């Protein structure tokens, strides 16, 4: 529909956050992209049919979904009417004139922001960029100029390798190829640590490859996420806080700083491992995808709170390159999970009114047995006698 107009304007929000630190002049400003473009318009309809034209315009504004605004000055934009729509009919003072005030907001038109790539592929690319940024940041932050500092960092890395082995061994062992890759990477770091300690960037890359390897296993998404959560807890607990300790000497602070940045790299790798697990899993049920999204957010929040505390204790400034990319990667992965959850089957619950066999029940719920009985057993955690016969009153979860 066409309408008359007078003055026009547009607004756009530049999303950014500033971080200020005690004793440091200036601030670090984080660029978080931009918000939607807004087009407030006062639309005029005049003549003997002005009220009918305004009504038709109003009805179009109230239709669901996005539309195309051909703005007289700012070009074409995909928009959605936002907020209150105001209509005024100046029948006497305006000589048959109707006025509609509306603000259009530009929209990306999708729940999941995409650059044209598939969401899963976009997350995978972001993982690679984040690994490179984390490795580069680790190389800049570490101070390994003396033999004593290098020796201490070697001990820290070997302790971290034991934590990784303890937390992820079972998860990696689910798939033979992944288990072999995990063991090979572990041996490369162990046997090459004397050389790698002189090249922090390469060491960081090897450690991140090791941590994220179990995430490429094709089964057991919940166990993988639990494994990475366990590893994250171990790593966060391994870095000592200096808060309130007035006896800390500069040399010890430097050693603790190296220990912290090593733990920070590996903890960030644990979160990346969870993201890797998500993009390498085929989700079949809506609750499973949403639980994975909640797990990712919980891990990212725990890591962020720990980083803020430790940087404050050590009176250091994080330039934020690796941190920002990691947050974006987690956000992309969560967006991907939320989007696919809309197309996944919901969870349903059945309480048995009589004893049933697992085969009979599976055929009734899923229409087949061969490819679904294992899924029914695992989703309900059936063991022992339950597999032989399900008792009356047993609560069964299924997806259909």
Q: Where are the domains of the chain?
A: 11-106, 119-341, 347-399
Are 372 and 366 in contact, with CB atoms under 8 Å apart?
A: yes
User: φ and ψ at 166, to 5 degrees?
Assistant: -65, -40
User: Does the pLDDT at position 253 exceed 50?
Assistant: yes
pLDDT (0 to 100) of residue 246: 42
Yes or no: is domain 11-106 CATH 3.40.50.1360? Answer: no
Residue 295: pLDDT over 90: yes
Q: Considering the chain, what is the average pLDDT of its residues?
A: 84
Sign of CA dihedral 361, 362, 363, 366: positive
3-state secondary structure of 6: coil
- Report the chain's terminal Cα–Cα distance, integer Å: 44
CA atoms of 318 and 320, how far apart (whole Å): 5
What pLDDT sits at residue 113? 52
Phi and psi at 73, nearest 5°, equal: -120, -35
Query: Which alpha helices (H) appear in 197-249, and where do they start and end?
Result: 200-212, 221-238
Given a cut of 80, is residue 46 above it in pLDDT? yes
Q: Are the C-beta atoms of residues 264 and 323 closer than 8 Å to each other?
A: no
Q: Is the pLDDT of residue 19 over 80?
A: no
* pLDDT of res. 217: 76
Which candidate, 76, 67, 43, places its Cα nearest to that of 57?
Answer: 43
Contact criterion met (CB below 8 Å) for 336 and 123: yes
Count of residues making up the chain: 400
Nearest-angstrom CA–CA distance, 254 and 109: 50
Q: What is the phi-psi region of residue 83: left when phi exceeds 0, alpha when psi lies from -120 to 50, beta otherwise?
A: left
Q: How confident is the model at residue 99 (pLDDT cuts 50, 70, 90)?
A: very high
pTM exceeding 0.85 = no
């Amino acid at each position: 529909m066409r309408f008359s107009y007078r003055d026009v304007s547009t607004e756009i929000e530049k999303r950014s956050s500033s971080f200020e630190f005690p004793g440091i002049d200036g601030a670090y400003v984080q660029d978080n992209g931009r918000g939607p473009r807004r087009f407030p318009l006062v639309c005029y309809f005049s003549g003997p049919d002005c009220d009918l034209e305004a009504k038709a315009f109003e009805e179009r504004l109230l239709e669901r979904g996005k539309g195309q605004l051909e703005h007289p000055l700012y070009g074409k934009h995909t928009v959605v009417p936002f907020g209150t729509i105001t209509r005024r009919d100046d029948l006497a003072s305006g000589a048959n004139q109707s006025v509609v005030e509306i603000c259009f907001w530009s929209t990306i038109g999708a729940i999941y922001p995409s650059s044209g790539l598939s969401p899963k592929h976009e997350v995978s690319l972001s993982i690679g960029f984040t690994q490179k940024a984390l490795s580069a940041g680790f190389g800049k932050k570490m101070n390994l100029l003396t033999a004593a500092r290098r020796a201490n960092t070697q001990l820290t890395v070997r302790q971290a390798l034991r934590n990784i082995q303890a937390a992820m061994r079972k998860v990696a062992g689910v798939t033979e190829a992944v288990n072999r890759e995990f063991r090979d990477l572990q041996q490369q770091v162990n046997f090459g640590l004397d050389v790698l300690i002189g090249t922090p960037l390469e060491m960081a890359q090897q450690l991140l490859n090791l941590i994220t390897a179990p995430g490429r296993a094709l089964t057991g998404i919940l166990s993988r996420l639990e494994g990475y959560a366990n590893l994250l807890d171990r790593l966060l607990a391994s870095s000592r806080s200096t808060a309130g300790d007035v006896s800390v000497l500069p040399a010890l602070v430097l050693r603790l700083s190296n220990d912290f940045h090593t733990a920070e790299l590996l903890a960030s790798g644990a979160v990346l491992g969870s993201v890797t697990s998500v993009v390498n899993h085929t989700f079949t049920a809506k609750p499973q995808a949403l639980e994975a999204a909640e797990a990712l957010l919980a891990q990212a929040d725990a890591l962020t709170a720990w980083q803020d505390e430790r940087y404050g204790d050590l009176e250091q400034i994080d330039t934020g390159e690796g941190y920002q990319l990691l947050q974006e990667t987690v956000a992309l992965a969560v967006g991907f999970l939320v989007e696919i959850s809309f197309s996944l089957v919901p969870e349903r619950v059945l309480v048995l009114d009589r004893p049933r066999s697992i085969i009979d029940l599976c055929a009734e719920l899923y229409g087949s047995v061969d490819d679904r009985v294992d899924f029914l057993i695992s989703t309900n955690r059936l063991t022992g006698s339950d597999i032989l016969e399900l008792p009356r009153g047993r609560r069964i979860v299924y997806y259909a």
